[in-house]
Each structure stands twice: as structure tokens, then as C-alpha cells.
Amino acid sequence: MGYLKPGEIQYLAAPARQVYPRWLAKKRANVTRLGEASALNRLVEDVEPLDEMGARIMWLRDRKKATKVVLFFHGGGYVAPILKGHFTWCWNCYVGDSSGMKSEVAVAILEYTLCPQAQYPSQH
């Protein structure tokens, strides 16, 4: 059994800049189809640039109204980009059906430069 090199993994997986808006669009379509109109206001694209090197935070839910923030690192050893399943997991765990929650929770998902374009500890 072989393994994939970092460049091969990145070639096969879409970058976060494509995954995030696609995931939001699909999630919006699903909640609309299911008649969950209250979830639509939690599905707004919000990207916060952090530096000139390209690091960004992709937000799930309204960061300005949040009383609590979960900072999510998707893993992948600085090689694999975030997958749509990571967004779904964050939504289900922290944002989804929050009608009974007393706190407004937003999830900050960090997008950073992957190896080999940037090497640890210079992930931006």
C-alpha cells in the first residue's frame, strides 16, 4: 500500500476558499427545502482576513452577536485542506439547533497556508 504526497492530497481536495462557499450554498438549499427558515440567518458567508500572507477565518454564525467562540483547527498535519465534512461537524456540534441555548456560539475556522508552500512554524 502506498501513500499520497502533500501535493497529491492538495490536488485531489478543493481549497478552503472553494469548500466554504459551496458548503454554505448547499446547506442553505437544504434548510430551505426542509422549511427551516430560522437557520438561514446563521448561514451567512463571513470571511475575516488576518494578514497579507492569506490566513483567514471563516465564520459559522454571526461573530458580532456571539457570546462564545469555538476556534476550530481542522487538522491534516498542515498538508491536507479542510473538507466539507469539517464544516458539517462544526455546524452539528456548535451551531445547528441552538434554539434552546442561552449563548450565541460562533465557530471560527482557521484557513492557513499548507505545506510545502509554507513550512512549520510559518503557517499563516
CA 91 to chain centroid, in Å, comes to 9
* pTM metric for this prediction: 0.84
25, 14 contact by CB (below 8 A): no
Q: Provide the total of helices (H) and of strands (E) in the chain, helices listed first.
A: 4, 4
Local confidence pLDDT in tens for the 124 residues of the chain: 688 888 888 889 898 899 999 999 999 999 999 888 888 888 999 999 987 777 899 999 999 999 999 999 888 777 888 999 999 999 999 887 665 667 889 999 998 888 777 765 555 5
Closest CA to 91 of 32, 47, 10, 26: 26
73 to 39, 40, 78: CA distances (angstroms): 24, 24, 10
Q: What is the pLDDT of residue 119?
A: 66
Sheet of 56-60: strands edge to edge? Answer: 47-49, 56-60, 105-111, 68-72
**pLDDT of res. 1:** 61
* pLDDT for residue 52: 74
